[in-house]
Amino acid sequence: MAERKDGRTLLPNGAGADYDLIIVGGGLAGSSLAIALAGRGARVLIVEQQDEFRDRIRGEVLMPWGSLEAQRLGIYALLLGSCATEAAYYSRFRDGSLQAVRDLIATTPSRTCCMTFPHPQMQTVLLKHAENLGTEVKRGSVASAVTFGDVPRVHIGSDAKGLSARLVVLADGKDSRLRSLLGFEVRHDPEQLITAGMILEGDVDCSEFLASNAPPRANTINLFYDPRGGRMAIAMKIAPGRNRIYLIHHKDVLPKRLSGRHSVEEMIRQLHATGAPGHWFDRARQAGPFASFDGSHRWVDRPCRDGVVLVGDTAAATDPAWGRGLSRTLRDVRLLRDRLLENPDWRSAAEAYAGDHDDFYGCMRRLEAMETALLFERGEAADRRRQHAFALFARDPTRVPDVVGLGPEAPSDDLARARYFGEI
């Protein structure tokens, strides 16, 4: 690679292209990729439709393996120093009783923990940093079309000519309009779980330790599981006085989805039933949007074609019930970055990334299918299978794949599945 006069590495330019990389979407995926490559001298343009990032019900936690990806991409310290909080413990309750408190740093191979943050603030911090590194950002602009080709083009608004790039990256979310226009086929699993999310504001800390002998000044992710009710709750602090809490339930548990202010009382009743403590709701109020959404997996096989690459939720979306979407997004970004830096033929590099993506996403999909089946399926047979498996877990915890700590590196083959369900 050539060297620029400012000392930064210059990636080989495309023949006559306006940019090395045009990224549609300036959220976690788009900004992280821009940071990774603009810092190496690439000419990067981000096209971001929103003038200002808005609070929506989206992921606000990195799992320990996602924190490792953030470190590899050079954004972990940036987030921690600006808008994020570390949660070094993971506390699990079942049927109202404490099941386990896990010290994540001590028990994960990478010695990393969870990180939480308000989603819009995280986006703002990363996009600004990408811009500081030399990324050109067009905010409030709509990428109306993308054309394939040896040098693909992005058309902004009514611009018929468009802007060219060596590679175009779509990072505009799971409902990407451009992905549909370009003919990428989206596959999806049947609906099984529903996730309802809301913000609690006030004098409450949902990352507090609810067990005795709590480590001083430490944060935990609190998970409550009610197997008989087919419900689970996950709660965390994302900023001082601001907490995110999710209710996850099988689609057949509630007669309708919880959404809007008229459903807050029922949401709180369901959260109480999982074991969430009452004082959280006595000292806090619901704030921001409150809605439910289905968590079926949606994905594109081989998310790359003719100079256009998909990353993050645009490429594949796992079930939000498990809180791994942001970690998976950063895995995508890091895999694409590595391929682009090691191979000046970006078409070949993008194809290699697509294979990498399919491999690890397949692992995530298998792991989450295992968890959903064991923990949430309804009926007497499912109840017996759970009781059998839980008894085996108590004697041998290694039967449970460590998805929290290892993510897609956790075993998901036939042997792992048989051990998880207690079939062997």
Q: Are 299 and 346 in contact (CB under 8 A)?
A: no
Q: Give me the pLDDT at residue 55, please.
A: 78
The tens digit of pLDDT for each residue in 98-111 reads 999 999 999 999 99
pLDDT at 2: 40
pLDDT reported for residue 15: 59
The string of pLDDT tens digits covering residues 290-330 is 999 888 899 999 999 999 999 999 999 988 899 999 999 99
First to last CA, the chain: 53
Q: Each residue of 366-378: pLDDT tens digit? A: 999 999 999 999 9
Among 294, 315, 342, the domain boundary falls at 294
Neighbours of 203 (CB within 10 A): 9
| Phi, psi angle pair for 148, to nearest 5° | -70, 165
**Residue 58 is part of which domain span?**
2-66+118-188+298-365
pTM above 0.85, yes or no: yes
Question: Any idea what the Cα angle at residue 80 is, between residues 79 and 84, rounded to 5°?
Answer: 80
> Which of 236, 260, 294 is the last residue in one of the domains?
294
pLDDT above 50 for 5: no
Task: Please report the pLDDT score of residue 14 as a whole number.
Answer: 56
CATH of residue 335's domain is: 3.50.50.60
Supply the CATH number for residue 287's domain: 3.30.9.10
Alpha-carbon gap, residue 407 to 123, rounded angstroms: 23
- Within-domain flag for 348: yes
C-alpha span between 91 and 234 (Å, rounded): 10
Question: pLDDT tens across 247-288, in order?
Answer: 999 999 999 999 999 999 999 999 999 999 999 999 999 998
**Could you report the per-residue pLDDT of 163-220, keeping only the tens digit for each?**
999 999 999 999 999 999 999 999 999 999 999 999 999 999 999 999 877 777 799 9
Phi (first) and psi of residue 340, to 5 degrees: -70, -35
Token couple for 335: 């895999």
SS3 readout for 236-294? EEEECCEEEEEEEEECCCCCCCCCCHHHHHHHHHHHHHHCCCCHHHHCEEEEEEEEEEE
At 10 the pLDDT is 41
Structural domains in the chain (count): 2
pLDDT of 7 above 80: no
pLDDT band at 3 (very low <50, low <70, confident <90, very high): very low
**Radius of gyration over alpha carbons of the chain, in Å?**
22
